[in-house]
Structure 1
Amino acid sequence: MPELLGQKSVLITGCTPGGIGHGLCHEFHKQGLHVIATARDLSVLKELAAQGMSTVQLDVTDPISIKKCHKIVTGLTGGRLDILVNNAGRTHTHPALDLDIQDVRTTFETNVFGVMAMVAGFSDLLIEAQGLVINVASLAALVPYAFGSAYCASKGAIVSYSRTLRQELRPLGVRVMVCMVGTVKSNIHNRVHRSLPENSVYQPIKEVFQKRLTFVNNNSPYDTESFSRELVANSLKKEVPWLFRSWVGRPDWFYYGGLAWLLWWGSTLFGEWVVDYVCWRMFELWKLENLRSRVEELHDEQPSKFE
């Protein structure tokens, strides 16, 4: 691993090829930063290592793994970290009524508790560098993303956590940036596909659930390269007073990806009801309501056949 003391550094979690983290590694590297790429399986990072980036094994759900990573990063950077990108995440598509709570706990371990553990674990290096924390959230934190209640809840937790974290770290000179990611092409959406239980109330519209499993990669997704380019460019902008951050300088909130600005404008100009209505139509939940109405009609008609 290269020791590049004095060079601006960035540690990125979840850098498996095909995902956002991998794209961010390439873009930060292009901008001249010392990139420290991490993944649970170190072997998938060989390509990044060959390009001169540091690679470290890291499981954000394992306290021992975090401590080992901290020790290595301290040696690489001389005890400071300019940017921490909490990108590691887990998708979770399943109806709220069919959730396996242990499965939900696993999602929260990665999407929420892993982020909290990384911030706490690397806080000393971030404070030393007067650094920046970038938490990768999602539009799912703000929209009724049908069949994604567990995932939405985990990203909503990150949004609320980040807002408070920003206040707590502000007097220490550390800033917090939140990425409200829209639809972006990523292998994460192809990894874990759950199926509906046989007794699920959503079995009558199981084809709608199947479509939902690949929704992100089939609805105006931005490519990973363009997303990474925009995020890196915005994260490296100069710091300006908070009042002007929505217009110039590094933003506290970064909306980007398919449907991102459409959601922002729709909710800002018209309110939550518009988002609810659009999602209701987009995810075709009205089909279940129509089926239920038809079943009730048949039930009401049935007695007359025996009179």
Structure 2
Amino acid sequence: MSQVAIRAGQKSVLITGCTPGGIGHAIAEEFHAKGVFVIASARRLEVLEELAAKGIATVALDVTSQESIAQCKEEVDRLTGGRLDFLVNNAGRTHTVPATDLDLDEVRTTFETNVFGVMAMCKAFVSLLINARGLIINIASIAAPSPYVFGSSYCASKGAVVSYSRCLRQELRPFDVRVTVVMAGTVRSNIANTVHQLVEGSLYEPIADLYTKRQKYSQTNQTMETSVFARQVVANALQPEVPLLLRTWFGRRDWFWCGGMSTMVWLGTILGEWILDTGAYRRFGLEKLRIYYGAMRKAKVGKNFD
């Protein structure tokens, strides 16, 4: 870990998943620019050398490992004097596979990082957050309320983060610890670099081209630049606290919709689920698949679904 000393009275933040090219990396730089003492983390310390060179503290952290989390807490406790003003749970993985093709071991891996890692971090660092009357920032996604086709496992994991955060916010209110959920839209990131192939015999083989295109969707549709996203997230985190009734319009927001397409999805949650369903069905070309199998049935050839 890099050796950087916190100044008296300086606020501190721990950010998970700060690999270069990702959201966490940009958030670390933005908090640092705002004068906050930043502790950036990633599984491998060497990927954080650029941040360390800028005067940012770095620590190795695997959010799926209890031992790694415990070691990280010990180092953060020492660095900050037992206080933590912000915890940003950003570490995550994407998982773009049709629901009927899912490998459950892969699903468990997704939940270990996206859900259980968030829970474990909040449990481990709650005492430091209470000491500072701090703020937890959980990075969720607009995938949680929307039918993001071929992303059922990822959507479910982010939906779990949303529900967990909603309860966590109430349970920590007596201790003056707050919770913000970032409903992230499409943002420039390395998270979509992995491209999957359909499993043999998949129901979606007739639209394999659309499946391949879908895997890059977050990087090709109204994608917000990572630095812009980070700037908005940090600006919200540093806003003053206002009464709960006013938080939708003033001060720090409990629910912060940010990134490409986030406003559109937010409106969909208000106007009716049918809008999101219809939009997703059309946008991802599922009508093409319905027509294909309709023709196969009519001709009485092709797959037997018994």
Q: Tell me which interval the TM-score lies in, with the shorter structure as reference length.
A: over 0.9
Q: One-letter code of the match for 2:236?
A: N
Secondary structure of residue in 1 paired with 2:137:
strand
**Cα distance, 1:200 vs structure 2:** 0.5
- 1:5 Cα deviation (Å)? 4.6
Of 214, 236, 239, 1:237 maps to: 239
Determine if contact 2:195/2:212 at 8 Å carries over to the other structure.
Answer: no
Q: TM-score, with normalisation over the residues of structure 2? A: 0.96
The structural deviation recorded for 1:298 is 1.4
- The amino acid across from 2:263 in the alignment is W
Partner in structure 2 of residue 99 of structure 1: 102
1:297 aligns with 2:298: yes
How big is the shift at 1:267? 2.8
Aligned equivalent of 1:71: 74
In structure 2, give the amino acid aligned to 1:67: A
Q: Secondary structure at the match of 1:178?
A: strand
Normalized per residue, which structure has more helix?
1
Alignment partner of 1:52 is 2:55: yes
- What code does the residue aligned with 1:78 have? G
Cα distance in 2 for partners of 1:135, 1:214 equals 24
Amino acid at match of 1:258: G
Q: Give the drift of 1:263.
A: 1.3
The answer to whether the 8 Å contact 1:5/1:76 transfers is no
Shift of 1:264: 1.2
After TM superposition, the structure 1 = structure 2 runs for residues 208-287 of structure 1, keeping only pairs within 5 Å, are 208-268=210-270, 270-287=271-288
Paired residue for 1:184, among 183, 187, 192?
187
Secondary structure of the structure 2 residue equivalent to 1:189: coil
Runs of 4+ in 1 over 6 A off after TM superposition: none
- SS of the aligned residue for 2:143 comes to helix
Q: Kindly provide the amino acid, as one letter, of the partner of residue 225 in structure 1.
A: S
Q: Between Structure 1 and Structure 2, how many residues are aligned?
A: 298
Q: Residue 234 of structure 1 contacts residue 249 of structure 1 at CA under 8 Å; is this kept in 2?
A: yes
TM-score scaled to structure 1, two decimals? Answer: 0.96
Q: Which runs of 5+ in 1 are unaligned?
A: 301-307
Match of residue 151, structure 1, among 147, 150, 154: 154
* Cα distance in 2, alignment partners of residues 77 and 86 from structure 1: 18
Q: Contact 1:145/1:279 (CA < 8 Å) preserved in 2? A: yes
Alpha-carbon distance between aligned partners in 1 of 2:279 and 2:84, rounded to the nearest angstrom: 42
- Give the distance between the partners of 2:118 and 2:174, measured in 1 at CA: 21
Max radius of gyration: which structure? 1
Which residue pairs with 1:40 in the alignment? 43
Query: What amino acid is aligned across from residue 222 of structure 2 in structure 1?
Result: S
